[in-house]
Amino acid sequence: MADPITGIGIVTSLSRVPSHYMAVKWIKDTHEEADFGKENLLRKSSRFLVLEKMPCSKSSPCDVLVELAIVANKDAVPPNFTPIERTLDTRERCFKGKYLCAKYDTWKPNMTAVTDVVVFKNSRDVLKGHALVGELSEQRILACVLSNLGSNASVRKKAPGRPPEVPRKPIIYSPMSGVPFELTRDCRVGDSDDIMSRYSVHPKSREAIEDQVRFVEVPLYFFDFTLEKSLKAS
């Protein structure tokens, strides 16, 4: 659901838009710059429409825009409407010969309010769903979007957060998994010197290995794992 408009005004330059407002920069049907100003031989006076939008709810109600009207200087301002006479940035008069008038009402559940204001160049191009306001300046036609705000207008739901990550258990595959390991009793009884002398390993030199290979029918060095077998638990 779009936020309702809580403020509307006019500025003389897009570089002077107040921080809490957003500018209507483009004409919807022609994509030209939505400048309501007029150009003469001496200078060009630019005028841009700016909108303020704020979330409203039962806990924080606010005044929202419900209607717009364009009134000639010689005509009276309609009841409950407020004329927008001066620009927000320079306090100059907004328009010559007419006023843009706004009507506000306090936010209520399920009320209808203005949620967008757009500019058209041709009245026949005013799209369905837009309420025609009138011609604010030459070839600049104003229209607004009326929306039902619902019972919880602009109460933005927070996006669901990411669930907490479950610690992943490392998957380790071991070829010795499930194989019991136990030292023979001879390796567990006695002091360390006795055990080391009992199962001492005598490394052979390269020459000794080559001499042993010469007497083997198959020219391969044979290792019978005698020491390892003796350590196996009984």
- Tens place of pLDDT for every residue, the chain, 234 residues? 678 999 999 999 999 999 999 999 999 888 899 999 876 656 678 999 999 998 888 888 899 999 999 999 999 999 999 999 999 999 999 998 899 999 999 998 889 999 999 999 887 766 777 888 998 887 788 888 888 887 654 444 455 666 666 666 655 556 566 666 666 666 666 666 666 666 666 677 777 776 666 655 554 556 667 777 777 655
Question: Is the distance from CB of 21 to CB of 50 less than 8 angstroms?
Answer: yes
Q: What pLDDT is recorded for position 153? A: 43
What tokens does 160 get? 């669901």
| Residue 66: its H or E element | strand 63-72
> What phi and psi values does residue 159 have, to the nearest 5 degrees?
-65, 140
Query: Would you tell me how many other CB atoms lie within 10 Å of the CB of residue 147?
Result: 18
Q: What pLDDT is recorded for position 8? A: 96
Q: What pLDDT is recorded for position 13? A: 94
Q: What pLDDT is recorded for position 143? A: 87
Question: Is the distance from CB of 50 to CB of 87 less than 8 angstroms?
Answer: no
Alpha-carbon distances of 204 from 201, 208, 209, 217, 229, rounded to whole Å: 9, 6, 7, 20, 20
pLDDT digits (tens, 9 = 90+) for 16-74: 999 999 999 999 888 899 999 876 656 678 999 999 998 888 888 899 999 999 999 99
**Cα–Cα distance, 112 to 72 (Å, whole number):** 26
Query: What are the structural domains, with CATH classification, of the chain?
Result: 5-148 (2.100.10.50), 185-231 (no CATH)
Question: Is the distance from CB of 199 to CB of 231 less than 8 angstroms?
Answer: yes
Residue 156, SS3 per DSSP:
coil
Alpha-carbon distances of 34 from 12, 42, 77, 93, 142, rounded to whole Å: 12, 21, 25, 18, 10
Name residue, tokens 């010197």.
193
